[in-house]
Amino acid sequence: MDPNPGVLNALPKTIRFRPPSETQRAVVDLLDQTCLPNQVTRLECFDVDTLHDAIVRLVVRGAPAIGVAAAYGVLLAEVQEDASLDERVRAYRIAADRLATSRPTAVNLFWALDAMRSGIDRFLREEAHGNAPDPAKGTALQTRLVEIATQIDREEAGRCQAIGEHGAAYLDRLVATDSVRILTHCNAGALATTGIGTALAPVYCLHQQGRSVEVIADETRPLLQGARLTAWELATAGVSVTVCTDSMAAQVLSQRKIDAVIVGADRIAANGDVANKIGTYGLAVAAKHHGVPFLVAAPISTFDSNIATGDLIPIEQRSEKEIRQPDRSANAWTPREADVMNPAFDVTPAGLIQAIVTQLGVIERPTELSVATHLNSAANRSI
């Protein structure tokens, strides 16, 4: 499916990649999301450590975008132009292992790096009996990995579009009126992917169809991804958006007509439990209490069949400075004597989720069986 051109043309591209050549090294060029909304600037990453740091610092963020950035990042491994095949393989594998340590929760990171590792393994099997000179094989491997990373990028955009179309069709069944009001948390839009997003993809599709769509964006403390990123992204794309603080969300659900809550996901367990940005669980509880459908939008790559339940999903613990000094100034927001906790994610039980929307369709009332059935259908289709 073709990506939504209106949204993608309105917003700067999250990730750009310049492949290596005889005269220049590879570059992963990132939209620096730490500077939004006040400044639109980019960070060029020429080596693995710089990209690793960019992922940790949330220059690039959102599970799908992290995966794409990491796939390209393998090509940032430092190798000489005349390097042997063994030297290149060693450098690429070290790069993949290093990038895998950047963030622990977003499973797309590991999925993309595994795709690159599998590409290396397939190449080695194919070339085991070839007669080409060793440096030529190394160059051919480099070319193959560029193709794999580019394909991951391109297919990510297609998956986003499909999620948007399935999500928009599902909302059509839920909402009888021409106007739709959505509450969302964190940022799961174009900035978090290389397409039109996951949670925001249905919004963009409805908007393109001429529907009246309004989004209420949770501020999303402590790093304000909703206030800084979702609000900026939607406003730039011409979609009506209002920001509320996280502590206002339950009140908004009780007093304003919210048609659905839609969020993204960083990892989904085999039973349908969903890890997403901290604050999602509380929002799901409030939505359940007020009878508002709670939807999750994510590609198949976000599911982790090796994790039985959400209790087993590793939760990233981030720096206490994000709580003590969120504005990055010398002014502390908490006394030194107080301890600080800063989990980046929480887990929403499947029982609170009305539906999970993927590029293949909708899993209503997710259970271990319905998730497995959906993933098995994915295994037999091109995704």
Q: Which residues are catalytic?
A: 266
181: nearest Cα among 258, 253, 233: 258
The length of the chain in residues reads: 383
282: nearest Cα among 199, 224, 346, 354: 346
Quote the DSSP letter at residue 67. H
Please tell me the distance from the alpha carbon of residue 358 to that of residue 378, in angstroms, as a whole number. 10
Q: Is 225 exposed, middle or buried (0-12, 13-18, 19+ CB in 10 A)?
A: buried
Report, in angstroms and rounded to the nearest whole number, the Rg of the chain calculated over CA atoms: 21
State phi, psi for 215 to the nearest 5 degrees: -115, 130
197: nearest Cα among 263, 273, 149: 263
Q: How many CA atoms lie within 13 A of 379 on its CB side?
A: 8
Helices (H), 74-192: 85-99, 107-127, 134-174
Cα 269–302–374 angle (5° rounding)?
70
